[in-house]
Structure 1
């Protein structure tokens, strides 16, 4: 078995700046590596496509925290109780029922109907930026676009979006110190109170929004219970914007650091759909998949995974596997047969993928067509990445001028 990597490996500045090189070096040594993450437990990183893709849909790798050993199970459950019993962290048959109920209120037809409104939001945001000649693309565009869309889809006030941003960052970020743990508890209580009130309002007076649809969604006369509703709404709010924010930010950085890439999309806007897929592959917003727990002793690529072991499938590493992708470190807007894993694979494939793709195509198309001469407003080396062990890979800011 390869040597166990220390917990600090995933938190280091070097890994934060360039996880792709670090994962490539690991992949050359083998596809699976033990790591002390979470601290004191048997953790394993899967860094190739051949083993990562089937692992995402392996029934022996459960999502439910009930399969994790103590004391991690207790810490994890206490960390974000508002997310308990959400469909992302559940297994069949619970996952099957929850996903079926949510998907009925989250149909492709409903998503496509949002196209004009998403375009209007994007245009309004650019209108607000254009006169200034400079902007932080994250704060001024990449964040407000998807958070406004998911707020309107759910039926919650978009004016609360800064609060939602804080909640979201707290839920998906690490809480490694006592202060962080306390604040996460406060955020969980705030989210519970917020959505509990809205659920009660929709039961009394339904509206034409996703919350109302979820309140009445049935599966063989079985409704989502209050905790499932709370967890589903929290998950949709967080996942419904957080990944798209960083898809837009990471993708624009990819374009702005290479004039040739930018010119190609300006000259050939019909490449936007395939370019979005390549943004997802090349430097996607989800660095690694959520925890999976071994329900029995098993092996991945010959490496023994004990029952209760925590498996981390590094999507970013799998998406740059040279056995699957030609010139994997090269951004190719016209790449064909792009079998990336940015949205996962199998029963947990991202339910919001059509919305993310639609938002991204509109976002990139609007920015490129309406902000001529857009360029970075600082040296590329000054761009900072968020990481700290989070699932999400994204920028702290993206200053531009145009």
Structure 2
């Protein structure tokens, strides 16, 4: 049954290597047997639906489906506190908010904001590696705890314009909200829910105060521009700025943590490519693109819904159906990629689904790509003889945002 294979995908025992399950799914491009959601696992069918206006990302269009084992595919970035971000809206509301968010972030209005952060990002990377060398045990490193986890949230603080003296508080809220996406199975869910709600409230109140301050005294950071910009779509309300800032924090942080960690894990399993990256730092760019195909940080998009009947691969999916789009399976589809289970940074035409596609493609993709390329290149350069201490490493519980919870590695030293 559909429910059975979906539960296998969600089961923690499959977390280290879900790809055999995806291979089995691809034998039936539209997988459904009368219960649960329709599951799409092949590249062309997934990409077609990501561009299809008859597919809704708005949870208000989703009806309860018997046999769907995932009632919450990662919590809303502000559920119960903030309105949904544009990630979980359909046009025209989605389009309006995404355009307004993009004005201070990327082309055509702010074409160089991400590139202008390159030097600052490099400084953050250097500082984190320096801290490992000076303050920790440089012979044994947990890459997640000491590097790939703190790096993205520091970047988001700088992007939004969080005052340096408040960054530590921001890190605590980010840690709590991230934990809600990756629950400890032994923890009390009521306690976790209360702690998460408290963090959301504190973060919301802090950001609301900062937004009002930026409206009075803009400082040129992204939060100032979101709060004050007046374009053809008007001005964001305070609640819309809050939900957008929360989206940047949670979605941007979790995706980049997994991208960097999965990337280093893959390179340690393929030492010839790690050696190449050490000698050729610019190789970081194609390596990141192949990583987004080979080990994407977002494995699947669950709980999409159909706004009308849709025919896919000869199967009619009725209006109101729930969909799961298995992006990581599409990225390994042999009908689209030659030798798809091989990690190949020299691969040509890597039009992967690792950052989605269509109107909901990853908004922060340019920043995530730059962060990962800089991080992996500098780690390759500075870590002497890095090697895995545990393979597979312990993974996070979350099957949607898949990545190691810890990545213990041994090194002989850290270069200057």
- Asked whether the two chains share a fold, i.e. TM above 0.5, the reply is yes
Report SS of the residue matched to 1:106: coil
Give the drift of 1:15.
2.2
Written as runs of structure 1 = structure 2, the 5 A alignment for 1:260-275 is 260-275=272-287
- Residues in 2 aligned to 1:218 and 1:236: alpha-carbon distance in whole angstroms: 20
8 Å contact 2:395–2:403 — kept in the other structure?
yes
The corresponding residue for 2:414 is none
Closer, same or farther in 2 for the Cα pair 1:16/1:289, shift >3 Å?
same
Structure 1 position 182, deviation (Å):
4.1
Tell me the distance in 2 between the aligned counterparts of 1:8 and 1:164.
Answer: 31
Other-structure match for 2:171:
162
Alignment match of 2:397 (pick from 346, 362, 387)? 387
Number of the residue aligned with 1:33: 31
Matched with 1:285 is 297
**1:36-72 deviation line (CA, Å, top 9, x unaligned):** 9xxxx84222111010111112111111122112699
Secondary structure class of the residue paired with 2:332? coil
Q: Does 1:148 align with 2:151?
A: no
State the secondary structure of the residue aligned to 1:358. Answer: helix
Number of aligned pairs? 392
Q: Within the alignment, does 1:129 sit opposite 2:132 as a pair?
A: yes
Which one of the candidate residues 51, 58, 70 is aligned to 2:52? 58
Q: Distance in 1 between matches of 2:76 and 2:406?
A: 32
Among 29, 40, 46, the alignment partner of 2:40 is: 46
Match of 1:250 among 225, 249, 262: 262
- Where does residue 397 of structure 1 map in the other structure? 406
Query: 1:82·1:231 contact (CA, 8 Å) conserved in 2?
Result: no
CA–CA distance in 1 between the matches of 2:85 and 2:77? 14
- 1:351 and 1:229 mapped to 2: Cα distance? 15
Kept after mapping to 2: 8 A contact 1:80/1:171: no
Whole-Å Cα distance in 1 between the matches of residues 40 and 222 of structure 2? 36
Shift in Å at residue 11 of structure 1?
2.4
Report the CA distance shift for 1:270/1:152 in structure 2 as closer, same or farther (over 3 A). closer
Which residue number in structure 1 is paired with residue 216 of structure 2? 204
CA distance in 2, matches of 1:370, 1:222: 47
Aligned-pair Cα RMSD in Å? 2.6
Which of 106, 109, 113 aligns to 1:110? It is 113
**Scaled by the length of structure 2, what TM-score is found?**
0.86
- Report how far residue 183 of structure 1 moved: 4.1
The answer for the alignment partner of 1:120 in structure 2 is 123
Q: CA deviation digits over 1:9-50, x for unaligned, max 9?
A: 23213321211111111112x1122389xxxx8422211101
Partner Cα separation in structure 1 for residue 190 and residue 390 of structure 2:
36
1:266, distance to aligned residue in structure 2 (A)? 2.6
Asked whether the 8 Å contact 2:141–2:410 carries over to 1, the reply is: yes
Asked if the contact 1:272/1:361 (under 8 Å) is kept, the reply is yes
- Paired with 1:192 and 1:401, the residues of 2 have a C-alpha distance of 40
**TM superposition shift of 1:171:** 5.0
Offset, 1:313: 1.0
TM-score (normalizing by structure 1): 0.89
| Aligned pairs (5 A) from 1:205-354 | 205-220=217-232, 222-289=234-301, 291-354=303-366
CA contact 1:82–1:191 (8 Å) conserved in 2:
no
Residue 12 of structure 1 pairs with residue 22 of structure 2:
no
Partners of 1:43 and 1:310 within 8 A in 2: yes
3-state SS of the aligned residue for 2:301?
Answer: coil
Partner of 1:373: 385
**DSSP-derived class of the 1:208 partner:** coil
Stretches of structure 1 that go unaligned for 5 or more consecutive residues are none
Pairwise CA distance, 1:124: 1.1
Evaluate the alpha carbon distance shift between residue 220 and residue 78 of structure 1 in structure 2; reply closer, same or farther with a 3 A threshold.
closer
Between Structure 1 and Structure 2, the one with more helix by share is: 1
The offset of 1:192, in angstroms, is 2.5
User: How far did residue 78 of structure 1 move?
Assistant: 11
Partner-residue secondary structure (3-state), 1:344: coil
CA distance in 1, matches of 2:302, 2:238: 24
**Counterparts of 2:81 and 2:53 in 1: how far apart (Å)?**
25
Distance in 1 separating the partners of 2:176 and 2:247? 11
Q: Note the alpha carbon deviations across 1:207-252, whole angstroms, 9 max, x for none.
A: 2211111001223362112221111010011122211111110010
